[in-house]
């Protein structure tokens, strides 16, 4: 065993270079676990990452604080996470996997629903407030910053006054289900673009689509 190999074994693992670190990404789909939430608007994050992992012919395994898949996209290593903490505690899982895999905040993408955007419209941003979204609020608190990339999928606001919770926890209408057949592949392209070409390029190409 060489000196370097002996040292790596002693300290646990080889120290990563900055270049290696910047080739690692964490894509997080937000949602609630359990069958009753499976097809709800609030779980669009889960739906997008499920389709992403299927597109790359990989699968999730149950790990600490969530289901995790590992993909290769354009030479980058991409960890895809569905937190098992329920929506309101999403930040715990995000922070854990960022630390465990040594992933920089600019290489994290949070995918979530948004009531303030028309149904099916995509909007990516590099920073912002939680906008009343409890999942984003917890992530912001755990990361201690509002500066992290987020992918907001519009679910619209077709609900009566006071019906916000029932709407986001309600299932997609037949019309929405039909439209998702086209909108989900567009979302996968946007995530792939984020990994391969960065946030700015992806915002230019996909915001408002």
Active site residues: 42
d(CA 125, CA 112): 12
What distance lies between CA 49 and its chain's CA centroid?
Answer: 7
CA distance 61 to 69: 6
Residue in 100, 92, 112 with CA at minimum distance from that of residue 27:
112
* 3-class state of residue 128 by DSSP: coil
Looking only at the bridges linking them, the beta strands covering 108-114 and 24-29 are parallel
Q: What would the two tokens of residue 55 be?
A: 């597109």
Give the containing element (helix H, strand E) for 114: strand 108-114
Tell me which DSSP letter residue 189 carries. Answer: H
79's CB contacts (< 8 A; 6+ apart) are: 24, 25, 26, 27, 68, 69, 70, 71, 97, 101, 103
């Amino acid at each position: 065993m060489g000196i370097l190999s002996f040292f790596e074994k002693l300290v646990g693992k080889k120290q990563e270079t900055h270049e290696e670190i910047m080739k690692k990404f964490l894509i997080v789909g937000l949602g609630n676990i359990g069958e009753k939430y499976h097809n709800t608007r609030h779980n669009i994050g889960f739906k997008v990452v499920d389709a992403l992992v299927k597109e790359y012919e990989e699968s999730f395994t149950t790990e600490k604080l969530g289901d995790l898949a590992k993909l290769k996209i354009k030479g980058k290593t991409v960890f895809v996470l569905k937190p098992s903490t329920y929506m309101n505690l999403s930040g715990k899982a995000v922070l854990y996997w960022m630390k465990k895999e040594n992933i920089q905040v600019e290489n994290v993408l949070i995918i979530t629903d948004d009531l303030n955007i028309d149904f099916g419209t995509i909007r990516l941003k590099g920073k912002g407030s939680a906008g009343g979204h409890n999942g984003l609020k917890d992530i912001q608190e755990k990361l201690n910053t509002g500066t992290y990339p987020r992918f907001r999928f519009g679910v619209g606001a077709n609900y009566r006054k006071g019906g916000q919770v029932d709407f986001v926890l309600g299932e997609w209408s037949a019309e929405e289900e039909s439209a998702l057949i086209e909108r989900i592949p567009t979302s996968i392209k946007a995530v792939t673009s984020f990994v391969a070409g960065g946030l700015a390029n992806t915002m230019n190409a996909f915001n408002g689509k």
